[in-house]
Homo-oligomer: A and B are copies of this chain.
Protein backbone atom coordinates (compact mmCIF):
# COMPACT_ATOMS: atom_id res chain seq x y z
CA UNK A 1 0.00 0.00 0.00
CA UNK A 2 1.33 3.40 -1.00
CA UNK A 3 0.97 6.14 1.58
CA UNK A 4 0.27 8.60 -1.23
CA UNK A 5 -3.03 6.74 -1.89
CA UNK A 6 -3.66 5.30 1.57
CA UNK A 7 -6.75 6.56 3.39
CA UNK A 8 -4.85 7.85 6.37
CA UNK A 9 -4.13 11.16 8.02
CA UNK A 10 -2.17 11.16 11.24
CA UNK A 11 -3.00 13.84 13.76
CA UNK A 12 -0.54 15.95 15.68
CA UNK A 13 -2.76 16.44 18.72
CA UNK A 14 -4.47 14.05 21.07
CA UNK A 15 -8.25 14.02 20.74
CA UNK A 16 -9.84 16.24 23.38
CA UNK A 17 -11.84 13.43 24.98
CA UNK A 18 -8.95 10.96 25.22
CA UNK A 19 -7.45 10.03 28.59
CA UNK A 20 -5.70 6.71 28.06
CA UNK A 21 -2.74 6.07 25.72
CA UNK A 22 -4.48 3.55 23.48
CA UNK A 23 -7.34 5.95 22.82
CA UNK A 24 -4.99 8.84 22.04
CA UNK A 25 -2.69 6.81 19.83
CA UNK A 26 -5.30 4.81 17.91
CA UNK A 27 -7.06 8.06 16.98
CA UNK A 28 -3.89 10.06 16.27
CA UNK A 29 -2.32 7.29 14.18
CA UNK A 30 -5.51 6.89 12.14
CA UNK A 31 -6.72 3.46 13.29
CA UNK A 32 -10.18 4.45 14.50
CA UNK A 33 -12.40 7.51 14.46
CA UNK A 34 -15.25 8.54 16.72
CA UNK A 35 -18.78 8.71 15.31
CA UNK A 36 -20.70 9.20 18.56
CA UNK A 37 -19.89 8.65 22.25
CA UNK A 38 -18.62 5.08 22.57
CA UNK A 39 -19.21 4.43 18.86
CA UNK A 40 -16.26 4.25 16.46
CA UNK A 41 -15.42 3.63 12.82
CA UNK A 42 -12.50 1.43 11.84
CA UNK A 43 -10.18 3.05 9.33
CA UNK A 44 -8.05 0.83 7.04
CA UNK A 45 -5.17 0.55 9.53
CA UNK A 46 -7.43 -0.39 12.41
CA UNK A 47 -9.48 -2.83 10.40
CA UNK A 48 -6.31 -4.73 9.47
CA UNK A 49 -5.35 -5.16 13.13
CA UNK A 50 -8.91 -6.10 14.04
CA UNK A 51 -8.92 -8.78 11.33
CA UNK A 52 -5.71 -10.23 12.77
CA UNK A 53 -7.20 -10.42 16.25
CA UNK A 54 -10.26 -12.12 14.79
CA UNK A 55 -8.04 -14.60 12.98
CA UNK A 56 -6.21 -15.57 16.18
CA UNK A 57 -9.46 -15.99 18.07
CA UNK A 58 -11.04 -18.00 15.24
CA UNK A 59 -8.04 -20.31 14.93
CA UNK A 60 -7.93 -21.09 18.63
CA UNK A 61 -11.67 -21.62 18.89
CA UNK A 62 -11.60 -23.93 15.87
CA UNK A 63 -8.69 -25.78 17.47
CA UNK A 64 -10.85 -26.83 20.43
CA UNK A 65 -13.58 -28.01 18.08
CA UNK A 66 -15.89 -25.09 18.64
CA UNK A 67 -18.08 -24.44 15.60
CA UNK A 68 -18.69 -20.97 14.26
CA UNK A 69 -22.17 -19.59 13.76
CA UNK A 70 -23.50 -16.04 13.68
CA UNK A 71 -26.56 -14.68 15.38
CA UNK A 72 -28.29 -11.40 14.61
CA UNK A 73 -27.69 -8.38 16.82
CA UNK A 74 -31.34 -7.37 16.73
CA UNK A 75 -33.21 -9.84 18.90
CA UNK A 76 -36.81 -10.35 19.95
CA UNK A 77 -37.92 -9.73 23.51
CA UNK A 78 -39.54 -13.05 24.38
CA UNK A 79 -36.50 -15.22 25.20
CA UNK A 80 -35.03 -12.43 27.33
CA UNK A 81 -38.38 -12.22 29.08
CA UNK A 82 -38.26 -15.93 29.92
CA UNK A 83 -34.75 -15.65 31.37
CA UNK A 84 -35.66 -12.49 33.29
CA UNK A 85 -33.00 -10.41 31.60
CA UNK A 86 -35.40 -8.20 29.65
CA UNK A 87 -35.99 -6.50 32.99
CA UNK A 88 -32.62 -7.17 34.64
CA UNK A 89 -30.65 -5.27 32.00
CA UNK A 90 -32.42 -2.07 32.99
CA UNK A 91 -31.02 0.97 31.18
CA UNK A 92 -27.81 -0.81 30.14
CA UNK A 93 -29.07 -2.04 26.78
CA UNK A 94 -30.50 -0.50 23.63
CA UNK A 95 -34.15 -1.30 23.14
CA UNK A 96 -35.95 -0.98 19.82
CA UNK A 97 -39.58 -1.14 18.79
CA UNK A 98 -40.25 -2.30 15.25
CA UNK A 99 -42.97 -0.82 13.02
CA UNK A 100 -45.48 -3.30 14.39
CA UNK A 101 -44.71 -2.33 17.96
CA UNK A 102 -42.74 -5.48 18.81
CA UNK A 103 -40.06 -5.03 21.45
CA UNK A 104 -36.54 -5.95 20.46
CA UNK A 105 -33.09 -5.58 21.99
CA UNK A 106 -29.65 -5.00 20.51
CA UNK A 107 -28.05 -8.04 22.09
CA UNK A 108 -25.32 -7.55 24.71
CA UNK A 109 -24.85 -11.33 24.92
CA UNK A 110 -26.66 -14.34 23.48
CA UNK A 111 -27.15 -17.10 26.11
CA UNK A 112 -30.88 -17.32 25.51
CA UNK A 113 -30.57 -17.63 21.75
CA UNK A 114 -27.84 -20.25 21.71
CA UNK A 115 -29.88 -22.23 24.22
CA UNK A 116 -32.93 -22.06 21.97
CA UNK A 117 -30.95 -22.97 18.86
CA UNK A 118 -29.51 -26.09 20.45
CA UNK A 119 -32.93 -26.99 21.79
CA UNK A 120 -34.22 -26.66 18.24
CA UNK A 121 -31.64 -28.97 16.68
CA UNK A 122 -30.52 -31.43 19.31
CA UNK A 123 -32.31 -33.95 21.47
CA UNK A 124 -29.90 -36.64 22.64
CA UNK A 125 -26.88 -37.00 24.90
CA UNK A 126 -25.14 -38.42 21.83
CA UNK A 127 -25.20 -34.96 20.26
CA UNK A 128 -23.17 -33.55 23.16
CA UNK A 129 -20.72 -32.18 24.11
CA UNK A 130 -21.17 -29.22 21.77
CA UNK A 131 -19.37 -25.92 21.61
CA UNK A 132 -20.54 -23.04 19.42
CA UNK A 133 -19.05 -19.61 18.96
CA UNK A 134 -19.58 -16.41 17.05
CA UNK A 135 -17.54 -13.28 16.39
CA UNK A 136 -20.20 -10.63 16.27
CA UNK A 137 -21.16 -7.05 17.00
CA UNK A 138 -22.65 -6.41 20.42
CA UNK A 139 -24.25 -3.44 22.12
CA UNK A 140 -24.39 -1.99 25.62
CA UNK A 141 -25.70 1.43 26.47
CA UNK A 142 -22.86 2.28 28.85
CA UNK A 143 -23.57 5.10 31.27
CA UNK A 144 -20.05 6.43 30.75
CA UNK A 145 -18.55 5.20 27.50
CA UNK A 146 -14.85 5.98 27.72
CA UNK A 147 -11.37 5.26 26.51
CA UNK A 148 -12.26 4.92 22.84
CA UNK A 149 -12.76 1.32 21.75
CA UNK A 150 -11.73 0.08 25.20
CA UNK A 151 -15.25 0.62 26.49
CA UNK A 152 -17.57 1.27 23.60
CA UNK A 153 -21.30 1.01 23.16
CA UNK A 154 -20.97 -0.96 19.90
CA UNK A 155 -18.17 -3.51 19.99
CA UNK A 156 -17.10 -6.88 18.66
CA UNK A 157 -16.97 -9.93 20.87
CA UNK A 158 -16.28 -13.57 20.47
CA UNK A 159 -18.86 -15.32 22.57
CA UNK A 160 -19.12 -19.06 22.85
CA UNK A 161 -21.31 -21.51 24.67
CA UNK A 162 -20.76 -25.11 25.69
CA UNK A 163 -23.44 -27.73 26.15
CA UNK A 164 -22.96 -30.88 28.20
CA UNK A 165 -25.08 -33.53 29.82
CA UNK A 166 -23.05 -33.94 33.01
CA UNK A 167 -21.17 -31.66 35.38
CA UNK A 168 -17.87 -33.33 34.50
CA UNK A 169 -18.53 -32.54 30.87
CA UNK A 170 -19.03 -28.88 31.70
CA UNK A 171 -15.81 -28.91 33.69
CA UNK A 172 -13.95 -30.36 30.68
CA UNK A 173 -15.53 -27.84 28.28
CA UNK A 174 -14.59 -25.05 30.67
CA UNK A 175 -11.00 -26.26 30.85
CA UNK A 176 -10.78 -26.52 27.06
CA UNK A 177 -11.94 -22.93 26.78
CA UNK A 178 -9.54 -21.84 29.50
CA UNK A 179 -6.66 -23.36 27.58
CA UNK A 180 -7.81 -21.81 24.30
CA UNK A 181 -7.94 -18.44 26.05
CA UNK A 182 -4.42 -18.86 27.35
CA UNK A 183 -3.26 -19.51 23.78
CA UNK A 184 -5.28 -16.54 22.45
CA UNK A 185 -3.90 -14.10 25.01
CA UNK A 186 -0.38 -15.46 24.68
CA UNK A 187 -0.58 -14.77 20.95
CA UNK A 188 -2.07 -11.31 21.43
CA UNK A 189 1.10 -10.56 23.32
CA UNK A 190 0.11 -8.45 26.31
CA UNK A 191 0.65 -9.22 29.96
CA UNK A 192 -2.43 -10.77 31.50
CA UNK A 193 -3.61 -12.47 34.65
CA UNK A 194 -6.34 -15.02 35.19
CA UNK A 195 -8.39 -14.12 38.23
CA UNK A 196 -11.33 -15.59 40.06
CA UNK A 197 -14.48 -13.67 39.31
CA UNK A 198 -18.00 -13.35 40.49
CA UNK A 199 -20.56 -14.46 37.99
CA UNK A 200 -22.64 -11.32 38.43
CA UNK A 201 -25.77 -10.87 36.37
CA UNK A 202 -24.95 -13.95 34.29
CA UNK A 203 -25.84 -16.35 37.04
CA UNK A 204 -23.99 -19.64 37.36
CA UNK A 205 -21.12 -20.84 39.48
CA UNK A 206 -17.38 -21.02 38.69
CA UNK A 207 -16.01 -18.15 36.70
CA UNK A 208 -12.67 -16.59 35.88
CA UNK A 209 -11.59 -13.43 34.14
CA UNK A 210 -8.61 -12.79 31.91
CA UNK A 211 -7.36 -9.29 32.65
CA UNK A 212 -4.80 -7.39 30.63
CA UNK A 213 -2.56 -5.79 33.23
CA UNK A 214 -2.80 -2.02 32.70
CA UNK A 215 -2.65 0.94 35.04
CA UNK A 216 -5.42 2.53 33.03
CA UNK A 217 -7.68 -0.49 33.43
CA UNK A 218 -11.09 -0.10 34.98
CA UNK A 219 -10.93 -3.33 36.95
CA UNK A 220 -9.02 -3.79 40.17
CA UNK A 221 -7.62 -7.20 40.96
CA UNK A 222 -5.54 -8.68 43.74
CA UNK A 223 -2.76 -11.22 43.74
CA UNK A 224 -0.71 -12.86 46.43
CA UNK A 225 2.86 -14.17 46.48
CA UNK A 226 1.40 -17.68 46.69
CA UNK A 227 -0.51 -17.35 43.45
CA UNK A 228 -3.98 -16.32 44.53
CA UNK A 229 -5.57 -13.95 42.03
CA UNK A 230 -9.07 -12.56 41.92
CA UNK A 231 -10.87 -9.52 40.73
CA UNK A 232 -11.72 -7.28 43.60
CA UNK A 233 -15.40 -8.20 43.47
CA UNK A 234 -14.57 -11.86 44.03
CA UNK A 235 -12.16 -11.49 46.95
CA UNK A 236 -13.49 -13.11 50.08
CA UNK A 237 -12.58 -11.86 53.51
CA UNK A 238 -10.56 -14.01 55.88
CA UNK A 239 -13.05 -14.44 58.69
CA UNK A 240 -11.63 -14.21 62.25
CA UNK A 241 -12.61 -16.92 64.70
CA UNK A 242 -15.70 -16.21 66.70
CA UNK A 243 -15.22 -15.41 70.38
CA UNK A 244 -16.99 -17.10 73.29
CA UNK A 245 -19.68 -14.79 74.67
CA UNK A 246 -19.10 -15.82 78.29
CA UNK A 247 -17.43 -13.14 80.36
CA UNK A 248 -17.68 -10.35 77.83
CA UNK A 249 -18.59 -7.02 79.43
CA UNK A 250 -22.13 -5.73 79.08
CA UNK A 251 -22.89 -3.11 76.49
CA UNK A 252 -23.15 0.44 77.83
CA UNK A 253 -24.39 3.56 76.05
CA UNK A 254 -22.24 6.65 76.50
CA UNK A 255 -22.56 10.31 75.69
CA UNK A 256 -20.43 11.07 72.61
CA UNK A 257 -21.60 14.51 71.57
CA UNK A 258 -20.38 15.87 68.22
CA UNK A 259 -19.04 12.56 66.88
CA UNK A 260 -20.95 11.89 63.68
CA UNK A 261 -17.79 10.70 61.89
CA UNK A 262 -15.45 7.82 62.66
CA UNK A 263 -12.49 10.19 63.14
CA UNK A 264 -14.34 12.42 65.58
CA UNK A 265 -15.65 9.35 67.41
CA UNK A 266 -12.22 7.75 67.79
CA UNK A 267 -10.75 11.03 69.05
CA UNK A 268 -13.56 11.39 71.55
CA UNK A 269 -13.22 7.78 72.74
CA UNK A 270 -9.52 8.20 73.37
CA UNK A 271 -10.18 11.37 75.33
CA UNK A 272 -13.28 10.41 77.29
CA UNK A 273 -12.94 6.62 77.54
CA UNK A 274 -9.25 5.78 77.21
CA UNK A 275 -8.40 2.06 76.92
CA UNK A 276 -5.78 0.51 79.15
CA UNK A 277 -4.19 -1.72 76.52
CA UNK A 278 -3.93 0.59 73.50
CA UNK A 279 -5.67 3.59 71.96
CA UNK A 280 -9.08 3.20 70.30
CA UNK A 281 -8.85 2.71 66.56
CA UNK A 282 -11.30 3.07 63.74
CA UNK A 283 -11.30 -0.72 63.46
CA UNK A 284 -12.97 -0.90 66.88
CA UNK A 285 -16.03 0.89 65.60
CA UNK A 286 -18.91 -0.53 63.62
CA UNK A 287 -19.97 1.86 60.86
CA UNK A 288 -23.45 1.48 59.43
CA UNK A 289 -23.88 2.69 55.85
CA UNK A 290 -27.25 3.06 54.19
CA UNK A 291 -27.90 2.78 50.47
CA UNK A 292 -30.92 2.34 48.28
CA UNK A 293 -31.07 -0.54 45.82
CA UNK A 294 -32.84 0.26 42.56
CA UNK A 295 -34.35 -2.99 41.36
CA UNK A 296 -34.55 -3.60 37.59
CA UNK A 297 -38.32 -3.15 37.78
CA UNK A 298 -37.78 0.34 39.23
CA UNK A 299 -38.53 -0.41 42.90
CA UNK A 300 -36.19 1.17 45.48
CA UNK A 301 -35.37 -0.90 48.56
CA UNK A 302 -33.13 0.26 51.44
CA UNK A 303 -30.09 -1.72 52.58
CA UNK A 304 -27.83 -1.14 55.60
CA UNK A 305 -24.26 -2.38 55.62
CA UNK A 306 -22.36 -2.74 58.88
CA UNK A 307 -18.58 -2.77 58.56
CA UNK A 308 -15.48 -1.92 60.59
CA UNK A 309 -15.00 1.85 60.77
CA UNK A 310 -11.56 1.66 59.17
CA UNK A 311 -12.97 0.44 55.85
CA UNK A 312 -15.14 2.08 53.22
CA UNK A 313 -17.81 0.41 51.20
CA UNK A 314 -16.37 -0.54 47.78
CA UNK A 315 -19.04 0.39 45.25
CA UNK A 316 -18.02 -2.28 42.76
CA UNK A 317 -17.93 -5.05 45.34
CA UNK A 318 -21.30 -3.97 46.66
CA UNK A 319 -22.77 -3.79 43.16
CA UNK A 320 -21.44 -7.23 42.26
CA UNK A 321 -23.24 -8.71 45.25
CA UNK A 322 -26.56 -6.92 44.84
CA UNK A 323 -26.78 -7.27 41.01
CA UNK A 324 -28.97 -6.90 39.04
CA UNK A 325 -30.04 -4.11 41.43
CA UNK A 326 -28.20 -0.79 41.05
CA UNK A 327 -26.87 1.11 44.07
CA UNK A 328 -28.18 4.63 44.68
CA UNK A 329 -27.56 7.05 47.54
CA UNK A 330 -29.80 7.05 50.58
CA UNK A 331 -31.01 10.64 50.38
CA UNK A 332 -32.67 13.15 52.69
CA UNK A 333 -36.12 11.98 51.69
CA UNK A 334 -35.16 8.43 52.57
CA UNK A 335 -33.96 9.53 56.01
CA UNK A 336 -37.19 11.48 56.46
CA UNK A 337 -39.13 8.29 55.70
CA UNK A 338 -37.28 6.47 58.50
CA UNK A 339 -37.30 8.77 61.55
CA UNK A 340 -35.73 6.03 63.72
CA UNK A 341 -32.45 6.53 61.83
CA UNK A 342 -30.34 9.18 63.62
CA UNK A 343 -27.77 10.41 61.11
CA UNK A 344 -24.22 9.95 62.41
CA UNK A 345 -25.41 7.75 65.27
CA UNK A 346 -27.09 4.84 63.48
CA UNK A 347 -26.68 1.53 65.27
CA UNK A 348 -27.80 -2.08 64.83
CA UNK A 349 -30.71 -1.33 67.13
CA UNK A 350 -32.56 0.47 64.35
CA UNK A 351 -31.55 -1.96 61.62
CA UNK A 352 -32.52 -5.43 60.47
CA UNK A 353 -35.71 -6.95 59.19
CA UNK A 354 -36.97 -7.40 62.77
CA UNK A 355 -36.23 -3.83 63.78
CA UNK A 356 -38.47 -0.78 63.91
CA UNK A 357 -37.26 0.35 60.45
CA UNK A 358 -37.39 -3.15 58.97
CA UNK A 359 -34.36 -2.24 56.85
CA UNK A 360 -32.37 -5.28 55.72
CA UNK A 361 -29.03 -5.26 57.57
CA UNK A 362 -25.98 -7.08 56.25
CA UNK A 363 -22.63 -7.03 58.03
CA UNK A 364 -19.04 -7.48 56.98
CA UNK A 365 -17.77 -11.06 57.52
CA UNK A 366 -15.38 -9.66 60.18
CA UNK A 367 -18.38 -8.97 62.41
CA UNK A 368 -18.25 -12.46 63.91
CA UNK A 369 -20.05 -13.72 66.97
CA UNK A 370 -18.40 -12.36 70.07
CA UNK A 371 -16.76 -9.40 68.38
CA UNK A 372 -17.13 -6.17 70.38
CA UNK A 373 -17.95 -2.85 68.78
CA UNK A 374 -18.46 0.80 69.43
CA UNK A 375 -21.43 1.81 67.34
CA UNK A 376 -24.31 4.26 67.16
CA UNK A 377 -26.92 4.24 69.91
CA UNK A 378 -29.64 5.59 67.61
CA UNK A 379 -29.75 8.71 69.79
CA UNK A 380 -28.22 12.04 68.80
CA UNK A 381 -24.73 12.37 70.39
CA UNK A 382 -24.59 8.88 71.80
CA UNK A 383 -22.78 5.61 71.02
CA UNK A 384 -22.86 2.17 72.62
CA UNK A 385 -19.60 0.57 73.74
CA UNK A 386 -18.97 -3.14 74.07
CA UNK A 387 -21.88 -4.02 71.85
CA UNK A 388 -21.32 -7.70 71.10
CA UNK A 389 -22.31 -9.34 67.85
CA UNK A 390 -24.44 -12.42 68.33
CA UNK A 391 -25.35 -11.34 71.83
CA UNK A 392 -26.59 -7.74 71.58
CA UNK A 393 -27.50 -7.75 67.89
CA UNK A 394 -27.89 -10.09 64.95
CA UNK A 395 -27.71 -9.03 61.31
CA UNK A 396 -29.68 -10.45 58.39
CA UNK A 397 -26.50 -11.98 56.96
CA UNK A 398 -23.08 -10.99 55.70
CA UNK A 399 -21.99 -9.13 52.59
CA UNK A 400 -18.60 -8.74 50.90
CA UNK A 401 -18.88 -5.01 50.35
CA UNK A 402 -15.91 -3.61 52.31
CA UNK A 403 -12.92 -2.39 50.36
CA UNK A 404 -9.99 -4.75 49.88
CA UNK A 405 -6.62 -3.28 50.85
CA UNK A 406 -3.06 -4.04 49.90
CA UNK A 407 -1.71 -6.23 52.68
CA UNK A 408 -5.01 -7.94 53.43
CA UNK A 409 -4.49 -11.69 53.71
CA UNK A 410 -5.34 -13.85 50.71
CA UNK A 411 -8.33 -16.06 51.52
CA UNK A 412 -6.35 -19.20 50.68
CA UNK A 413 -3.53 -18.32 53.08
CA UNK A 414 -1.08 -17.64 50.27
CA UNK A 415 0.14 -14.35 51.73
CA UNK A 416 -0.68 -10.66 51.71
CA UNK A 417 -2.57 -9.27 48.73
CA UNK A 418 -1.26 -6.64 46.38
CA UNK A 419 -3.67 -4.59 44.28
CA UNK A 420 -3.30 -3.85 40.60
CA UNK A 421 -5.44 -2.72 37.73
CA UNK A 422 -6.44 -4.45 34.54
CA UNK A 423 -8.72 -4.51 31.52
CA UNK A 424 -11.22 -7.32 31.33
CA UNK A 425 -10.36 -9.16 28.11
CA UNK A 426 -11.97 -12.52 28.61
CA UNK A 427 -14.47 -14.10 30.93
CA UNK A 428 -15.31 -17.77 31.29
CA UNK A 429 -18.33 -19.00 33.21
CA UNK A 430 -19.76 -22.29 34.28
CA UNK A 431 -23.35 -21.23 33.80
CA UNK A 432 -24.75 -24.57 34.83
CA UNK A 433 -28.42 -25.28 34.19
CA UNK A 434 -29.78 -21.77 34.71
CA UNK A 435 -30.65 -20.91 31.11
CA UNK A 436 -31.32 -24.49 30.03
CA UNK A 437 -33.83 -24.74 32.86
CA UNK A 438 -35.50 -21.43 32.04
CA UNK A 439 -35.73 -22.22 28.32
CA UNK A 440 -36.33 -25.93 28.74
CA UNK A 441 -33.26 -27.31 26.96
CA UNK A 442 -33.39 -31.02 27.75
CA UNK A 443 -31.94 -34.09 26.06
CA UNK A 444 -32.44 -37.81 26.53
CA UNK A 445 -29.62 -39.26 28.60
CA UNK A 446 -28.02 -42.71 28.38
CA UNK A 447 -31.03 -44.19 30.16
CA UNK A 448 -33.65 -42.57 27.96
CA UNK A 449 -34.49 -40.01 30.64
CA UNK A 450 -34.96 -36.32 29.86
CA UNK A 451 -32.24 -34.30 31.60
CA UNK A 452 -31.49 -30.60 31.60
CA UNK A 453 -28.31 -29.62 29.76
CA UNK A 454 -25.53 -27.81 31.61
CA UNK A 455 -23.90 -24.86 29.90
CA UNK A 456 -20.83 -22.69 29.90
CA UNK A 457 -20.52 -19.20 28.49
CA UNK A 458 -17.23 -17.66 27.37
CA UNK A 459 -16.37 -14.22 26.02
CA UNK A 460 -13.40 -12.41 24.49
CA UNK A 461 -13.43 -8.69 23.78
CA UNK A 462 -12.22 -8.71 20.18
CA UNK A 463 -12.36 -5.00 19.33
CA UNK A 464 -11.27 -4.21 22.88
CA UNK A 465 -8.20 -6.39 22.32
CA UNK A 466 -6.94 -3.94 19.70
CA UNK A 467 -6.97 -1.23 22.36
CA UNK A 468 -5.59 -3.50 25.07
CA UNK A 469 -2.60 -4.40 22.92
CA UNK A 470 -2.10 -0.72 22.10
CA UNK A 471 -2.32 0.09 25.80
CA UNK A 472 0.45 -2.41 26.43
CA UNK A 473 2.58 -1.93 23.34
CA UNK A 474 3.42 1.72 22.89
CA UNK A 475 6.07 4.26 23.83
CA UNK A 476 6.19 8.03 23.82
CA UNK A 477 6.54 8.15 20.05
CA UNK A 478 3.62 5.92 19.22
CA UNK A 479 2.36 2.38 18.82
CA UNK A 480 4.64 -0.65 18.81
CA UNK A 481 2.69 -3.58 17.39
CA UNK A 482 3.71 -7.16 17.98
CA UNK A 483 4.44 -8.79 14.62
CA UNK A 484 1.38 -11.04 14.60
CA UNK A 485 -1.02 -8.09 14.95
CA UNK A 486 0.77 -5.34 13.05
CA UNK A 487 -1.24 -3.79 10.20
CA UNK A 488 1.79 -4.24 7.91
CA UNK A 489 4.99 -6.26 8.07
CA UNK A 490 7.23 -3.49 6.80
CA UNK A 491 7.06 0.30 6.77
CA UNK A 492 9.21 1.33 3.80
CA UNK A 493 10.37 4.95 3.59
CA UNK A 494 11.94 6.68 0.62
CA UNK A 495 14.30 9.34 1.99
CA UNK A 496 15.14 12.02 -0.54
CA UNK A 497 14.28 13.01 -4.08
CA UNK A 498 17.31 11.51 -5.79
CA UNK A 499 16.08 9.60 -8.79
CA UNK A 500 18.17 6.51 -8.09
CA UNK A 501 16.98 6.45 -4.48
CA UNK A 502 13.33 6.74 -5.52
CA UNK A 503 13.79 4.01 -8.11
CA UNK A 504 15.56 1.86 -5.52
CA UNK A 505 12.72 2.28 -3.07
CA UNK A 506 10.18 1.43 -5.76
CA UNK A 507 12.13 -1.71 -6.57
CA UNK A 508 12.37 -2.65 -2.88
CA UNK A 509 8.59 -2.18 -2.60
CA UNK A 510 8.03 -4.64 -5.45
CA UNK A 511 10.62 -7.12 -4.16
CA UNK A 512 9.26 -7.17 -0.62
CA UNK A 513 5.71 -7.65 -1.84
CA UNK A 514 6.86 -10.41 -4.18
CA UNK A 515 8.37 -12.08 -1.12
CA UNK A 516 4.93 -12.18 0.45
CA UNK A 517 5.47 -9.29 2.85
CA UNK A 518 2.75 -6.73 3.44
CA UNK A 519 4.38 -3.33 2.94
CA UNK A 520 3.27 0.19 3.78
CA UNK A 521 5.34 2.31 1.39
CA UNK A 522 5.79 5.94 2.33
CA UNK A 523 6.22 7.20 -1.22
CA UNK A 524 4.97 10.68 -0.42
CA UNK A 525 6.75 13.24 -2.56
CA UNK A 526 9.56 15.52 -1.42
CA UNK A 527 7.22 18.13 0.08
CA UNK A 528 6.65 15.76 3.00
CA UNK A 529 9.81 16.05 5.07
CA UNK A 530 11.81 13.06 6.21
CA UNK A 531 11.13 14.14 9.79
CA UNK A 532 7.40 13.85 9.21
CA UNK A 533 7.86 10.45 7.57
CA UNK A 534 9.87 9.14 10.53
CA UNK A 535 7.38 10.56 13.03
CA UNK A 536 4.49 8.92 11.21
CA UNK A 537 6.32 5.60 11.07
CA UNK A 538 6.92 5.67 14.82
CA UNK A 539 3.32 6.70 15.49
CA UNK A 540 1.83 3.98 13.29
CA UNK A 541 4.05 1.34 14.86
CA UNK A 542 4.79 -1.20 12.13
CA UNK A 543 7.49 -3.45 13.67
CA UNK A 544 10.14 -3.03 10.96
CA UNK A 545 11.03 0.26 9.28
CA UNK A 546 13.14 0.17 6.13
CA UNK A 547 14.68 3.42 4.90
CA UNK A 548 16.02 3.77 1.37
CA UNK A 549 18.16 6.89 1.43
CA UNK A 550 21.74 8.15 1.45
CA UNK A 551 23.36 4.74 1.81
CA UNK A 552 21.64 3.47 -1.31
CA UNK A 553 24.48 4.77 -3.46
CA UNK A 554 26.66 2.25 -1.61
CA UNK A 555 24.09 -0.49 -2.01
CA UNK A 556 22.81 -0.19 1.57
CA UNK A 557 19.40 0.40 3.16
CA UNK A 558 18.67 1.00 6.82
CA UNK A 559 16.53 -1.49 8.73
CA UNK A 560 15.16 -0.26 12.03
CA UNK A 561 13.40 -2.23 14.71
CA UNK A 562 10.46 -0.14 15.93
CA UNK A 563 10.44 -1.73 19.39
CA UNK A 564 14.13 -1.54 20.29
CA UNK A 565 15.11 1.36 18.06
CA UNK A 566 18.04 -0.75 16.87
CA UNK A 567 19.24 0.21 13.38
CA UNK A 568 21.41 -1.66 10.99
CA UNK A 569 22.54 -1.24 7.43
CA UNK A 570 21.70 -4.12 5.15
CA UNK A 571 22.87 -4.78 1.60
CA UNK A 572 20.00 -4.07 -0.79
CA UNK A 573 20.58 -7.44 -2.40
CA UNK A 574 20.18 -9.21 0.95
CA UNK A 575 17.17 -7.19 2.12
CA UNK A 576 14.41 -9.67 1.33
CA UNK A 577 16.25 -12.58 2.94
CA UNK A 578 17.10 -10.45 5.96
CA UNK A 579 13.49 -9.41 6.50
CA UNK A 580 12.02 -12.81 5.95
CA UNK A 581 14.17 -14.29 8.67
Binding site for B on A (CB under 8 A): 5-9, 30, 33, 35-36, 39-44, 47, 50, 65, 67-76, 91-92, 94-96, 98-99, 102, 104, 106, 113, 117, 120-122, 130, 132, 137, 139, 141, 143, 153-154
A154/B9 in contact, CB under 8 A = no
A67/B7 in contact, CB under 8 A = yes
Interface centre among A65, A113, A130, A139 (most CB of B within 10 A): A139
Name the residue of chain B whose CB is nearest to the CB of A93: B99
> Within 8 Å CB of A9, what residues of B?
121-122
Set B41, B75, B130, B132: member contacting A113, Cβ < 8 A: B41
Q: Which 8 A-B pairs have the closest CB atoms?
A: A42-B70, A36-B76, A9-B121, A91-B99, A7-B67, A39-B72, A72-B154, A41-B71
**Identical subunits present:** 2
CB contact under 8 A between A137 and B73, given known A9-B122, A122-B9: yes
> Within 8 Å CB of A143, what residues of B?
99
CB contact under 8 A between A67 and B44, given known A35-B76, A72-B154, A106-B74: yes
Between-chain CB contacts (< 8 Å), 8 pairs:
A6-B67, A7-B67, A41-B71, A50-B70, A74-B139, A92-B99, A96-B96, A99-B143
- Closest Cβ–Cβ distance, residue A52 to chain B (whole Å): 14
B7/A72 in contact, CB under 8 A = no
Q: How far is the CA of A39 from the CA of B104 in the complex (A)?
A: 11
Name the residue of chain B whose CB is nearest to the CB of A70: B42
Q: How far is the CA of A39 from the CA of B70 in the complex (A)?
A: 12
- Closest Cβ–Cβ distance, residue A135 to chain B (whole Å): 10
B94/A98 in contact, CB under 8 A = yes
Name the residue of chain B whose CB is nearest to the CB of A50: B70
Name the residue of chain B whose CB is nearest to the CB of A42: B70
- Closest Cβ–Cβ distance, residue A58 to chain B (whole Å): 10
Q: How far is the CA of A476 from the CA of B39 in the complex (A)?
A: 47
B73/A73 in contact, CB under 8 A = yes
Q: How far is the CA of A6 from the CA of B121 in the complex (A)?
A: 11
Set B7, B74, B99: member contacting A69, Cβ < 8 A: B7
> Within 8 Å CB of A94, what residues of B?
74, 96, 98, 104
Q: How far is the CA of A8 from the CA of B36 in the complex (A)?
A: 40
> Within 8 Å CB of A99, what residues of B?
91-92, 141, 143
Set B8, B36, B139: member contacting A75, Cβ < 8 A: B36
- Closest Cβ–Cβ distance, residue A389 to chain B (whole Å): 41
Q: How far is the CA of A224 from the CA of B35 in the complex (A)?
A: 47
A40/B96 in contact, CB under 8 A = no
Name the residue of chain B whose CB is nearest to the CB of A156: B70
> Within 8 Å CB of A130, what residues of B?
7
- Closest Cβ–Cβ distance, residue A68 to chain B (whole Å): 6
> Within 8 Å CB of A96, what residues of B?
94-96, 106
A35/B75 in contact, CB under 8 A = yes
Q: How far is the CA of A64 from the CA of B41 in the complex (A)?
A: 22
Name the residue of chain B whose CB is nearest to the CB of A525: B126
Please give 10 more A-B residue pairs, beta carbons under 8 A apart, in addition to A5-B65, A42-B69, A50-B70: A8-B121, A35-B71, A35-B76, A42-B71, A47-B68, A73-B137, A73-B154, A74-B139, A91-B99, A96-B106
